[in-house]
Amino acid sequence: MLANLRFRRHRERLYTWLIVLAGLAVALIAAWLARDHSMRQASDGFQREVSARSAAFDASVARHVQMVRSLAAFVATRDQLQATDFRAFVDSMRGGIPGMQAMQWMPVVGAAQRLSFEQAAQSDYANYRLTEQVSLWELVQAHEREQYVPVRLVEPLAGNEPVVGFDALSDPLLADALARAAASGDVVATERLVLVQDDDGVRYGVMLVSAVPGRDGSVRGYVAGVFRIGDLLQAALAGLPPVGLHFSVTDASGPGAERALHVFSDRLTDVGDLLETPFEPHEKSPADALLATHDLRVGDRLWRVYYEAGPGYFAPLPPVPAWAAALVVLLVTAMVTALLLLMQKRAQLLARSSLADGLSGLANRAFCDRMLAAEWDRAIRFGKPLSVVVVDIDHFTDYNAQFGPLAGDDCLRRVGHVLAEVPARSSDFVCRYSGDRFVVILPETPHAGAHALAGRAARAVQALALAHPGRTPEPLVSVSVVAATAQPQRGDSLPGFIGKALELLDSAERGEGNAVLGLSVAAG
């Protein structure tokens, strides 16, 4: 009877806990569903706003690119381009193009025509001369070169006087854009430029360049539009209501890290203090964060716009009591932490049991073969040498026969421990290869370095002073060591390379042992 009562109490307690847990689960599921519904509404609205702004950015960039194309077509129809014609055409377009710093005509000038070209240009600009830049703020007379691409005409002139006569070929960044424009036959864009013309401080800009062909098909010159990045981007949003979005714009062209171009918000009017804000991509974000990206083609370059909903973009969710939030966080954290610790512990045990040698504690043969194959492939891919040091305990069979297997196991453990301390780099790898043989893998190590490590290994084992009667000249445990180095090429055989090292080691062990031998092979 007493046993039945105790059983019933335990069962009631169990039911009570199940009910409590079920109630908690239902409450959490209900809260999650409500939150998910709110987030879906916010996300749908966010995506609509992002789509509208992305379309506005695309349209704005297309207008700027088309302006440069139109200017190139206009210049191509004029054999002799007059400053008044150039000014009139630019004035007819500039009203609808925000952020324009300058429109330029840059003809190709040979070294022989330089003097006559400068004299002719002085009819439009007094004291015209070809210049090049020696620092951000200093222009000097251009050095002699076989060819020049100077700024012959610029509109508007006010504020752009420093660029008149500037040779674009003297600037590697601009020269690269000119070469790409000539090769593509279409509008290309430069990397981020620093606009030194601005009186209110340094601002970033972009130059759109198009080549103008001559009648013979060669490049006659180039037209370029210089635009302020901030004005170009923010003007695109002029017809859209502000909703609290933050924008980070980067240049994502080519490999490597993205370069920040502009940071702004559609709720801010003064963004001068944000120009130097470092770009930090949102690789990891909260689950409820509203983020999006848009790839913007600017000529032949790729700009990337990062959108983020700022504070107050959508109405906050109903508040959760502090004690309930804390309880949920503590419970989830405790459960996840315990689960992770258990999984990590099991993973470590499994890894050790499958990849570690139970006697020496070093990596086993299977893991050694895997590492050798990986380093062999890496050496081929990067054209680097690969060295291995193979260690064999001299006459270990005699040692086992004389002292017994337990002493032999202890000898292997002590030798393995000593060898594990010999390498100085974290990339070097020590394993028990088989029986009384050990292997040290030395990535990107030339033969001299491997041979030096082999000598240290032999001396370290001898310093253990393990008695081995019958060995001469000293009755101590010694090792034979082979330092083998290969410069593998595609098609070379890893087993062949290891086989040659083991053959040399066998010949040393069959002799007197206690030797350090070198082997440098082509691996084939």
Q: Are residues 369 and 513 in the same domain?
A: yes
CATH label of the domain that carries residue 145? 3.30.450.350
- Considering 211, 233, 255, which residue would you say is the last residue of a domain? 233
Tell me, yes or no, whether 11 lies in a domain.
no
Q: Which among 200, 233, 266 is the end of a domain?
A: 233
Which range of residues forms the domain containing residue 464?
365-521
**Spatial CB neighbours of 85, under 8 Å, sequence gap ≥ 6:** 78
Residue 400 tokens, joined: 């086992």
- CATH number for the domain harbouring residue 468: 3.30.70.270
How many domains is the chain partitioned into structurally?
2
- Predicted TM-score (pTM) of this structure: 0.54
* Residue 267 maps to a domain: no
**Burial (Cβ within 10 Å: 0-12, 13-18, ≥19) of residue 156:** middle
- Cβ neighbour number for residue 100 with a 10 Å cutoff: 22
Is 96 among the domain residues?
Answer: yes
Helix (H) or strand (E) holding 248: strand 245-251
Exposure string (b/e) for 37-66, b if CB count within 10 Å is 16 or more? ebbeebeeebeebbeebbebbeebbeebbe
In a domain, 329, yes or no: no
In a domain, 348, yes or no: no
Q: Where are the beta strands (DSSP E) in 24-180?
A: 100-107, 109-110, 131-135, 138-141, 147-148, 153-155
Q: Measured between alpha carbons, how far is 51 from 57 in angstroms, rounded to an integer? A: 10
Residue 124, domain member (yes or no): yes
**262 Cβ contact list (under 8 Å, min separation 6):** 204, 229, 230, 233, 247, 248, 249, 271, 275
Residue 296 lies in a domain: no
Task: State the amino acid at position 233 in one-letter form.
Answer: L
Choose the final residue of a domain: 170, 199, 233: 233
Return per-residue pLDDT of the chain as tens, 524 residues.
333 434 554 555 565 555 555 555 555 665 565 556 666 777 788 888 899 999 999 998 998 999 999 999 999 988 888 999 999 999 888 766 767 888 999 999 999 999 999 999 999 898 899 999 887 668 899 999 999 999 999 998 888 888 899 999 999 999 999 999 999 999 999 988 887 655 555 678 899 999 999 888 899 999 999 988 888 888 888 878 888 788 889 898 877 778 888 888 876 544 443 333 444 554 545 555 788 999 999 999 999 999 988 766 654 444 444 445 445 655 655 565 555 555 556 655 655 566 778 888 888 888 889 899 999 999 999 999 999 999 999 888 888 888 888 999 999 999 999 999 998 888 888 999 988 999 999 999 999 999 999 999 999 998 998 888 867 777 888 888 999 999 999 888 899 998 988 888 888 777 777 788 888 775 54
Residue 249 included in any domain: no
